[in-house]
């Protein structure tokens, strides 16, 4: 064991857990050529050969995908201890998180307005839509109805995916692919505790595959946290102070997946409540009992089989619900805002791949939105002030031709035609040229368009006190041009460069209605951006891997000003390696730099560098794995922009935290 540096010596008044974890990981995390036998590792060539299923809804090699696709595996999730979908996605080029002590939001390629509910990125579980018709929200925090311990891999397809997916797929598609029963071959139990949030959570999962190929996985999980006692100011109210005990969070999740032959079914359910220390929506400051809560349930039943050797048929039925509730205090009176939404539909898809020159995709998808209801209730008098019921439907026809012009040159041409009862008809085309110059070099030229119709909250909600409806609100559109170069420099080193430009018009934003003087969602502005993303991936024979990326994005609105919450520079570095001296052990180090961001009042919130560390090792006497994760290891103080519905312009984020867990595989 190497000597420990002086700064790692333990203090006389006791062991600081974060320092001990840091020193042990530092001492043992040097790359080794001899990997532990029970550590699953993939070479760079194997990583590059992982198939992608989300770009065209059928399996493709990464060199065939008309996008700069990224894949995160279960090994990545375990190496860095990511506990939310947003934590994992924020390691990828061009993506960043914002947290307002209520929800986590995903920004993509320089665009992520404060308070945005990730409405312009489509989030799916095994290809099944999670974004709801009420808010269009794509959950990436603990509202996401799937425990991260159940994720086999995450595929992110940047750029407009409207040509295949329609609604929400403007800046990208996130597809979370779940583990199977065959992967577990029994039970898995995990429990953890995290300080200083006093977070406790646990998960129990069972899975099995039978000799006839039938496969089942069942899982339940739950968490509860007290949160942190942070200080807040509340604008012109003159109120400020610490919000003790107002940052709590609790959640539960359940998941079922089953398959047999051509049939596949899954159901994900999640419930989450987050207390509000910030007095969001300009409610009464420092008042207990204020919270926001969500409950998701999404499921699907799918049949997929080959009709002939050259024709793959997929048919599926899907459905989901999202129930939202918040309690907010105004002038001492508690008000409840319960809202519900439900949706169901079906999809039929054909892939014809018998030709050497053409691979054809045809599909039709229909969705009916039901039980969309928004209410406002005065809890003291039990009077319903607002009760709005809406519905809706969507119908989409899509197709794509993957045309191999020569063995080295392919063209991708596709489009989707959508009709809905809000914005009418729209077309979302996509085109691309892919040239495999040699086995190590692939060049791509891409163009695409996508749209998003306004959701029920943006178009229909009105209380005639602060907000009025806009039933004629049009859809917003984005158009993107992109060039991608992938180069395998050596057998263990790959580099990617992506240059892009996008332009979004009819941007839906909160404006002012001149007739009523109230706030109203309007579509009257545009935003444009150009940027570059550079990434590299290096592996070693012993199982070590170094992955890094730098993103530069220049975003401007109508008047040439930079939008709020749009960092110019993002940089990521992820290093994982087996631990040399501990059987079954491995460690992961993560560095994330986010450049300065503009707040909604025009001020600038400084950039910050976060360091996270993770160590895993076997505890053979109890048959478990020890999981130790340190977040914000350097204890950086930093803030992220708040929305215009907050009292604050910037919200302080969590400092250093230590998470200790145990995992049993039975």
Per-residue pLDDT of 236-246, as tens digits, reads 888 999 999 99
Confidence of residue 581 (pLDDT cuts 50, 70, 90): confident
As a three-state string, the secondary structure of 546-603 is EEEEEEEEEEEECCCCCCCCCCCEEEEEEEEEECCCCCCCEEEEEEEEECCEECCCCC
Q: How far apart are alpha carbons 62 and 494 in whole angstroms?
A: 13
Over residues 167-187, the pLDDT tens digits come to 999 999 999 999 999 999 999
Residue 559 pLDDT: 79
103, 273 contact by CB (below 8 A): no
CA distances to 17, 23, 27, 352, 568 from 8, in Å: 11, 6, 10, 61, 35
Give yes or no for residue 27 having a pLDDT over 70.
no
Confidence of residue 278 (pLDDT cuts 50, 70, 90): very high
CA distances to 19, 326, 348, 541 from 597, in Å: 31, 29, 44, 40
559 against 221, higher pLDDT: 221
By CB atoms closer than 10 A (0-12, 13-18, 19+), residue 12 is exposed
249, 274 contact by CB (below 8 A): yes
Q: Which two tokens stand for residue 609?
A: 């560098």
193, 185 contact by CB (below 8 A): no
Give yes or no for residue 6 having a pLDDT over 60.
no
Over residues 426-473, the pLDDT tens digits come to 999 999 999 999 999 999 999 999 999 999 999 999 998 889 999 999
Over residues 83-97, the pLDDT tens digits come to 999 999 999 999 999
CATH numeric code, 31-665: 2.40.170.20
Q: How far apart are alpha carbons 38 and 418 in whole angstroms?
A: 49
Over residues 588-626, the pLDDT tens digits come to 999 999 999 999 999 999 999 999 999 999 998 888 999
For the chain, the average pLDDT equals: 92
Q: How far apart are alpha carbons 555 and 578 in whole angstroms?
A: 40
Confidence of residue 209 (pLDDT cuts 50, 70, 90): very high
Give yes or no for residue 26 having a pLDDT over 80.
no
Over residues 465-515, the pLDDT tens digits come to 889 999 999 999 999 999 999 999 999 999 999 999 999 999 999 999 999
Residue 43 pLDDT: 74
Q: How far apart are alpha carbons 560 and 33 in whole angstroms?
A: 52
Spans of all domains in the chain:
31-665
Q: How many residues does the chain have?
A: 666
Q: Which two tokens stand for residue 620?
A: 């053979």
Alpha helices in 52-203, H assignment, sequence order: 74-80, 85-89, 162-165, 181-184
Give yes or no for residue 7 having a pLDDT over 70.
no
Confidence of residue 10 (pLDDT cuts 50, 70, 90): very low
Give yes or no for residue 368 having a pLDDT over 70.
yes
First and final C-alpha spacing in the chain = 32
Residue 542 pLDDT: 87
Mean per-residue pLDDT for 12-30? 39
Give yes or no for residue 655 having a pLDDT over 50.
yes
Closest CA to 510 of 646, 338, 645, 602: 645
Residue 41 pLDDT: 60
Mean per-residue pLDDT for 542-549? 95
What angle (nearest 5°) sits at the alpha carbon of residue 75, between those of residues 69 and 81?
Answer: 100
């Amino acid at each position: 064991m190497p000597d420990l540096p002086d700064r790692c010596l333990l203090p006389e008044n006791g062991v600081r857990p974060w320092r001990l974890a840091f020193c042990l990981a530092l001492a043992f995390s040097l790359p080794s050529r001899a990997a532990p036998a029970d550590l699953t590792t993939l070479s760079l060539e194997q990583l590059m050969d992982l198939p992608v299923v989300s770009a065209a809804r059928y399996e493709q090699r990464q060199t065939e995908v008309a996008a700069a696709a990224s894949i995160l595996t279960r090994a990545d999730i375990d190496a860095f201890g990511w506990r939310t979908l947003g934590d994992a996605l924020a390691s990828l080029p061009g993506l960043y998180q914002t947290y307002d002590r209520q929800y986590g939001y995903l920004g993509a390629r320089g665009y992520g307005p404060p308070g945005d509910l990730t409405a312009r990125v489509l989030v799916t579980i095994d290809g099944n839509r999670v974004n709801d018709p009420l808010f269009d929200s794509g959950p990436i925090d603990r509202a996401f109805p799937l425990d991260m311990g159940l994720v086999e891999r995450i595929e992110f397809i940047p750029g407009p995916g409207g040509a295949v997916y329609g609604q929400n797929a403007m800046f990208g598609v996130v597809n979370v692919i779940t583990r199977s029963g065959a992967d577990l071959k029994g039970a898995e139990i995990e429990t953890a505790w995290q300080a200083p949030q006093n977070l406790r959570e646990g998960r129990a999962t069972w899975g099995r595959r039978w000799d006839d190929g039938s496969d089942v996985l069942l899982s339940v999980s739950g968490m509860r946290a007290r949160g942190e006692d942070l200080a807040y100011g509340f604008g012109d109210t003159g109120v400020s102070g610490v919000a003790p005990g107002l940052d709590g969070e609790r959640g539960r999740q359940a998941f079922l997946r089953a398959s047999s032959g051509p049939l596949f079914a899954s159901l994900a359910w999640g419930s989450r409540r987050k207390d509000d220390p910030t007095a969001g929506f300009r409610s009464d400051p420092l008042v207990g009992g204020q919270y926001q809560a969500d409950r998701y349930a999404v499921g699907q039943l799918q049949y997929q089989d080959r009709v002939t050797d050259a024709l793959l048929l997929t048919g599926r039925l899907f459905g989901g619900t999202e129930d939202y509730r918040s309690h907010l205090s105004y002038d001492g009176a508690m008000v409840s805002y319960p809202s519900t939404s439900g949706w169901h539909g079906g999809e039929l898809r054909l892939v014809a791949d018998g030709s050497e020159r053409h691979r054809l995709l045809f599909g039709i998808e229909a969705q009916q939105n039901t039980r969309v209801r928004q209410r406002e209730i005065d809890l003291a008098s039990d009077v319903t002030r607002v009760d709005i019921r809406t519905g809706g439907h969507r119908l989409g026809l899509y197709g794509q031709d993957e045309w191999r012009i020569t063995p080295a040159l392919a063209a991708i041409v596709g489009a989707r035609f959508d009709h809905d009862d809000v914005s009418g008809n729209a077309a979302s085309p996509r085109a691309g040229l892919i040239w495999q110059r040699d086995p190590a070099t692939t060049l791509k030229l891409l163009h695409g368009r996508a749209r998003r119709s306004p959701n029920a909250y943006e178009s229909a909600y009105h209380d005639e006190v602060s907000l009025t409806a806009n039933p004629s609100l049009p859809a917003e559109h984005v158009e993107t041009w992109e060039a991608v170069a992938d180069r395998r420099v050596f057998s263990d080193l790959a580099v990617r460069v992506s240059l892009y430009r996008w332009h979004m018009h009819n941007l839906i934003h909160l404006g002012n209605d001149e007739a009523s003087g109230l706030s109203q969602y309007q579509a009257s502005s545009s935003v444009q951006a150009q940027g570059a993303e550079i990434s590299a991936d290096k592996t070693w024979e012993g199982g070590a891997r170094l992955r890094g990326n730098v993103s530069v994005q220049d975003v401007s609105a109508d008047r040439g000003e930079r939008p709020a919450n749009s960092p110019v520079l993002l940089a990521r570095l992820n290093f994982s390696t087996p631990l040399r001296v501990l059987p079954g052990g491995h460690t992961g180090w993560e560095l994330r730099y986010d450049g300065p961001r503009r707040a909604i009042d025009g001020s600038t919130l400084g950039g910050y560098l976060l360091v996270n560390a993770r160590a895993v090792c076997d505890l053979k006497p109890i048959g478990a794995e020890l999981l130790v994760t340190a977040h914000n290891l350097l204890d950086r103080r930093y803030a992220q922009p708040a929305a215009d519905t907050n009292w604050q312009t910037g919200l302080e984020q969590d400092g250093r935290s230590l998470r200790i867990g145990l995992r049993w595989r039975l």
